[in-house]
Structure 1
Amino acid sequence: MKNEEITDSHYKKAVEGLNQKILENKDLWFSHILNLPEHLQVTYTVIIFDQQIFNGGFHQYFFNSYGQFAYLTIDNLRLINAVRAADILERATNLVNADQISLKEFRRKIFDRDFPKITDFDDELFDALSALDDEYDTLDENLEQLLVDYLSDF
């Protein structure tokens, strides 16, 4: 099976049951992902992260509410040995959560779009996240291959 077929197969399993009702409730959405079998949770968070950064960068990732999974995604990136990607996401998350609010409050603010620096396109934060976008674009880690290698055990 090709790498893309492997990741697509696991991703489809990860999103089974995700519907509009769940996606509109941060706690249901987060709980749904958190309670997936580990390999499906890893697949979901890593693929969503990579797609969001590739399509619109870190600002988009946080603006589109996927940033509520940032801390979980950092752990999952490390789990698959994507340590450089994890480091970049951790730096981006620390920029967004500069006040070090609790995970619960961070998730709420991201989901509710209650982070003025994100929603109002704060120049300083936007520029810092853009620099991380550039760093991510030149990353020499093959995220898809690392994910496939990890999934080979499942």
Structure 2
Amino acid sequence: MGIISTILSLIGCSGNTKKDDEKLSKETEEKLTQSIDAFKNRPIYKKLTEKIIDNTSDDNLLQVVFDYLSQKQSADYENEFETVMSWNKSKQAIYMIWALESEVNNGGYNQFYFNSSGQFYKYLPEALKLVGANKFSELTKRANETFERENPKITQHQDGTIEGFSKSYEDNPLNKFDDEFYKVYDTENLQQLQVDFIRKHKTEFIDN
């Protein structure tokens, strides 16, 4: 959140004088460095407790839970699917939604289905609905249906090369869902929904 806020502040002050811009640039650089350092040095828990969840701020709770879940994976993520599916539904939801958001915000639904995160696509509408993200759930369900129906067209250029993957974005029927995904953020706070869900069901994330 710190990095995002810093970038938004910089954009919002683009009309200042050159001197002010230079000062802002230095301040922004310092804040950015601090945010990166804080991220690198963040605590990663191998075991979550009620106290850890209660004492973690809303801004950091999702990261704490995702880090906790990620460290349960092997270094090469070879058995990622089997590991995730062995968890309860609450843990699955947070992990899968993180994967979806990371991919779609970086390269759209096309990238999500292309990468290993796509192995969870059938479970995501239910996961999103579980945390109360009904609009994201409905959107992802429609994207899934399009992915299955138009799969030959979507994957025809995906030959394992960067060029092939880049070409697969051309006239891709999934592209329309990307803009919808970004717009849903205006009416459905996906991060806060997950944070509230974790706090309400914290026993689901605590190791006994």
The bucket for the TM-score relative to the shorter chain is: 0.7 to 0.9
Q: Which residue of 2 aligns with 1:67?
A: 118
Structure 2 length-normalised TM: 0.59
How big is the shift at 1:17? 2.7
Please give the per-residue CA displacement for 1:117-140, whole angstroms capped at 9, x wherever unaligned: 47251644x2x2111100111112
Q: Which residue of 2 aligns with 1:116?
A: 155
Q: Which residue of 1 aligns with 2:45?
A: none
Greater relative CO, 1 or 2 (CA 8 Å, sep 6+): 1
Runs of 4+ in 1 over 4 A off after TM superposition: none
Number of equivalent positions: 134
Structure 1: gaps of 5 or more residues? 101-114
Equivalent position SS for 2:174: helix
d(CA) in 2 for partners of 1:19 and 1:13? 13
Q: Is 1:14–1:36's contact at 8 Å kept on the other side of the alignment?
A: no
How big is the shift at 1:94? 0.9
How big is the shift at 1:9? 1.3
Q: Which residue of 2 aligns with 1:5?
A: 60
Q: Is 1:62–1:118's contact at 8 Å kept on the other side of the alignment?
A: no
How big is the shift at 1:29? 1.8
Give the root-mean-square deviation of aligned CA atoms.
2.1
Question: Which of 90, 99, 109 does residue 58 from structure 1 map onto?
Answer: 109
- The reply to whether residue 36 of structure 1 matches residue 65 of structure 2 is no
d(CA) in 1 for partners of 2:96 and 2:59? 16
d(CA) in 1 for partners of 2:94 and 2:169? 31
Report % sequence identity: 22
Q: Is 1:53–1:133's contact at 8 Å kept on the other side of the alignment?
A: yes
CA 118–92 in structure 1, closer or farther in 2 if over 3 Å, else same = farther
Q: Which residue of 2 aligns with 1:142?
A: 189
Structure 1 length-normalised TM: 0.78
Q: Is 1:46–1:73's contact at 8 Å kept on the other side of the alignment?
A: yes
How big is the shift at 1:37? 3.1
